[in-house]
Chains A and B, each alone.
Chain A
Amino acid sequence: MIDLATVQAITAKELRDALRNRWFVVFTVAFAGIALALSTMVRPTGTFTHALSYTRTAASLVNLVLLFVPLIGLTLGSANLASDRETGALTYLLSQPVSRVEVLLGKYFGLAGALLATLTLGFGAAGLALALQGVAQETGSYLMTVLLAYLLALAMLSLGFLLSSVAKKTTTALGGALFLWLFLVFIGDLGIMGTSVTMKFPIEGVFFVTAINPLQMFKIASILSIQANLEVLGPAGLYATDQFGALLLPLLLVGLLLWIVLPLLAAATTFSRQEKFTYREARS
């Protein structure tokens, strides 16, 4: 039985820790600054007017989110349990009347809160800047992009926690997080492109393999919410629109939710079942 008061206490502590974390503050300021800059710089091509829009700002922020959010989500998540384990703080925490699942959930929710606050600040600053300049149309697609960014951040945090529950050392966890980030952002895409060309993958195969990647799920869902079709993605995009129609966006949302829940469940299972101390640690 999970005690919510315990989870809440650990969540509050993690949230406070994250807000005191120098790197996290730097990321928050950088993300908000870039988002704000994009909101004021992006305008329709070939015009010299200040015809700004939420849609264009959202489209620009999608690329920013694709690069930064997985990095911070994965590293924050992966460093958390592993670093506490390495310093011995985790042993002390677990010697209190708490369960392992409560500890994991408390830590997850705390970091999730901090991460979502960062995104809210960045998107909020950009949105506010647009609103102050009189832009009022297409706020729906902008808010949808924000929601999708939230889901992506939580999915990356879940993956980070899964790494953290397995890794014994912080450096191992961080190394794993960086590799996963590289794989999801760059290597995965290039690999799929190369394999599909050389192996002559059918178009549906290319789409499914691509869409398994949570980053691609976020990207496709964002593009859909911004311009209602996937022409920009080429044949695979056209195939997806044709095959799934209006169901595509809900399916992608469910996919992102699964990327949040499944790694977190796996992390909770691993963390609860693993032997708490190695023999070397237990030698008195």
Chain B
Amino acid sequence: MSTNTYDAIVIGSGISGGWAAKELTEKGLKTIMLERGRDIKHVKDYVNANKAPWEFPHRGGRTVQMEKDYPVLKRDYPLNETNLDYWVNEKESPYVEIKRFDWFRGYHVGGRSLMWGRQSYRWHDVNFEENAKQGIGVDWPIRYKDLEPWYSHAEKFAGISGNRDGVPILPDGDFMPPMEMNCVEKDVAARFNAYYKDKDRHFIIGRTANITKPLPGRTNCQYRNKCWLGCPFGAYFSTQSSTLPAAMATGNLTVRPWSIVTKILYDKDTKKAKGVEVLDAQNNQTYEYYAKIVFVNASTLNSAWVLMNSATDIWPDGLGSSSGELGHNLMDHHLGVGAGGRVEGYDDKYYFGRRANGIYIPRYRNLNGEKRDYIRGFGYQGGAGRDEWGRSIPELSIGGAFKDALAEPGEWNIGMGGFGETLPYHENRCYLDKNVKDHWGLPVLAIDATCKDNEMKMRKDMAEDAKEMLEACGVKDVHVFNSEPVLGRGIHEMGTARMGRDPKTSVLNEWNQVWDAKNVFVTDGACMTSAACQNPSLTYMALTARAANHAVEELKKGNI
């Protein structure tokens, strides 16, 4: 047997890749996890995690040079000097924007599990059923009950803190104790929940993958709110803190950084994949790795890239392209719309510690028979806080008294931003642009996707509802924001290799298997048939664990 032969190959090491590696190795499969970028070791390589704010030369800001080097990343908050090396080198890895699409990538072991937002919400049957009921896209081949045990499995292992709120649309999970709302949030929640009692709207503490009790090898959250630098306590879920150590502990995992998977090797005789081809990003040599099963977890757009770049005589548009849906139905959550305002009183109250979490208002639109002039809905994330230093008071704008005032607690304010569901449109897609090459001479992705009428109508509600709800809770000087929606900005890319019931209209079956090659599983955001409005990563974890379990069962039965 060649040394390049394993039981399983996992392409990618982010949230879903880490889960695939953990589940497969724990079930006894010799597994290699291929990561296109560098290695980042847990704790040791979190080089900025223990720096004080004043130790950063620009106090965390961005330089003109950084803006030149990161023309995409600079479009939103991620570009800053504190975790610059967690983001992709844009010069080496360009892509083509047919329409503006903000693609924020992390090419290293752990992927975006190191920088993710950590909000973790289950889906509801409503989310799985709406496509079929409304004739949008294709029907999900699974329902909530199929995923429910896997949600529990994922929550227990990853460690999700949250309150069992009993909100019908947002199923409760196996939570660690919730983080606490501050005094203003508690009062706003009480007013909100009383005011909207009959309308089934809820103002709850966020459910986040920050642990509030220790787990093996992990310390509970220390309220530093520096998660995006990597956590020395392992207090939030990442590949490094959670799935990777578990997979390594089995003795069954090999991790190979600097491994760009250029294609999945398809064997037309067995109608299965026999392995993958890897381009070593450092020495530019090509290697082949072989396995019984391949898990594709390269992130939504890059998983589509791997499949599309795996073209053969039989599948000229790539592995999994027979339905014509590969690369299509690209989704994200549209955001940048909401409201904020001032809260009066509470001058004698404050809080201590930096909570890496906020509040959540689950979806309430188009439920229970309501029909707006758009379909689906949105949720809000937000929080209340007290201005700290840096506020300026007109009466004291310069001088000694001003200096002293800077150290006093400022006004209380509260804000919230919407996360809206984007529909799966066939024409929102990515494809290979063979005229543009990356640093390694590989064709790049062209992305052509935009928000449409349904999203634009929804955004009106997202803005107006936010204002109305804050005002109903007594918030003063409420201001609304509603920027032009840009897909990608939600960093919740989904679609491109959707699951379905019919190989003619979908790329994957109900077990995340590629219809055209049953031993290839795609379990990252690419598999999503619709987007719902909940943050998606927890669902990827559950889907991955479920698919891995199925893969091993099928292997045992000799079916794949």
Q: Do A and B come from one complex?
A: no
